[in-house]
Amino acid sequence: MIAETGGQERMIRLFGLAAPAGPEPRPAAPNLEVLSIDPRHALESELRAQLPIGGIAGRLFDTRAVAAVAQTAPALRELLALSMIRTLLAGHHDTVVLDAPATGHAIGMLEVPRTLQRIARVGPVRQRAESLVRLLEDDRLTAVVLVSTPEDLAVSETLDAWERLATTHVPCAGTIANGVLEPLFEAGDGAALATVGAGPAARAAVAAAHARMAQTAAERELLRRLPWPLAELPLIQGDLPPGRAEAAELAGLLERL
């Protein structure tokens, strides 16, 4: 199962779906389902599970007060999203990959159960928080994989996330560096370029080669700063986002690491 948050709709292109992934699991490939975690739907599902008559939940959610709470209550959306992941794992899904929101929000989501555990002394919220803490902090069940690109801002954000993650007690499996340039030149190629002819075309080619070598060297320095273990995925050229063929190629690279 791949679950995405915040209406990202990345699964449409990735798996060639006819429509965006919805709040209910839908097949995307053999032995793979996708869904989009929608806070409104998650809250309505929670109300249906807690109230004895399902119809009451739907009418209750349609009230302005409950709808407003769903949008503004601190940590409620994060708690419901994590609870949905727990529910999926309790069913027939053996693995759930959460395509989490931006790094800062994702770490904040992981901090919610511990925060609620400190605040709620008794009751269903306390029980839910304890259950999620057990799930998230068990390295046999959960692991966070940080994803970065070889750029200054992205690497800095990833390092900040790694430090914050260490305070959550949620295990980190490592980092994926996405969009890494493949090395085109070897160590001695710089000296060889100095012997290239002096024509305009040759000078332009040499300048382009030196620029690529400098960019690759800068990327290597940035990648050395990322938390290990580190897996590198190459940059996929093209204007369109990757589809199923590109995803299969990248998955094959990860399997060999």
What pLDDT does 221 receive? 94
219 in a structural domain = no
- 98, 85 in Cβ contact below 8 A? yes
pLDDT of residue 125 exceeding 50, the answer is yes
Q: Is residue 198 part of a domain?
A: no
pLDDT of 70 over the 60 cut: no
Confidence bin at 56 (pLDDT 50/70/90): very low
Give the range among 5-14, 22-31, 125-134 with minimum mean pLDDT. Answer: 5-14
Which residue's structure tokens are 């992941």? 85
Provide the residue count of the chain: 257
Give the CATH number of the domain where residue 244 resides: 3.40.50.300
Q: Rounded distance, CA 106 to CA 230, Å?
A: 20
pLDDT attached to residue 163? 92
Q: How far apart are CA 28 and CA 14, in angstroms?
A: 9
Residues 114, 168: contact at Cβ < 8 Å?
A: yes
State residue 108's pLDDT score: 86
Q: Quick check: is 200 in a domain?
A: no
- For 49-63, letters b (16+ CB in 10 Å) and e give eeeeeeeebeebbee
Q: Is the pLDDT of residue 180 over 80?
A: yes
pLDDT of residue 100: 83
Average model confidence (pLDDT) for the chain? 80
* More confident of the two residues 52 and 91: 91
Residue 193 lies in a domain: no
The set of residues, in sequence order, having a beta carbon less than 8 Å from that of 215 and lying 6+ positions away, is: 181
Residue 205 lies in a domain: no
pTM: 0.79
Judged by average pLDDT, the poorest of 19-28, 54-63, 207-216 is: 54-63
Flag whether 136 is in a domain. Answer: yes
Overall number of domains in the chain: 1
201-252 confidence digits (pLDDT tens): 777 887 888 888 889 999 999 999 999 899 999 888 765 666 777 777 888 8
Q: Which of 8-12, 58-62, 119-123, 157-161 has the lowest mean pLDDT?
A: 58-62
Stretch 132-142: mean pLDDT, rounded? Answer: 93
Domain carrying residue 250: 2-182+227-255
For 146, what's the count of Cα atoms within 13 Å in the CB-facing half-sphere?
Answer: 30
**Nearest-10 Cα torsion for 45, 2, 164, 148:** -150
Q: How far apart are CA 52 and CA 44, in angstroms?
A: 13
Q: Is residue 255 pLDDT above 50, yes or no?
A: yes
Instruction: List the 2-5 sheet strands across, edge first.
Output: 26-29, 32-37, 2-5, 97-99
Is residue 241 included in any domain, yes or no?
yes
| Coil, strand or helix at 59 | helix
Greatest Cα pair distance in the chain: 83
**pLDDT level of residue 88 (50, 70, 90 thresholds):** confident
pLDDT-wise least confident of 118-132, 157-171, 183-197: 183-197
* φ, ψ at 30 (rounded to 5°): -55, 130
pLDDT of residue 51: 53
Whether the predicted pLDDT of 162 surpasses 80? yes
In a domain, 211, yes or no: no
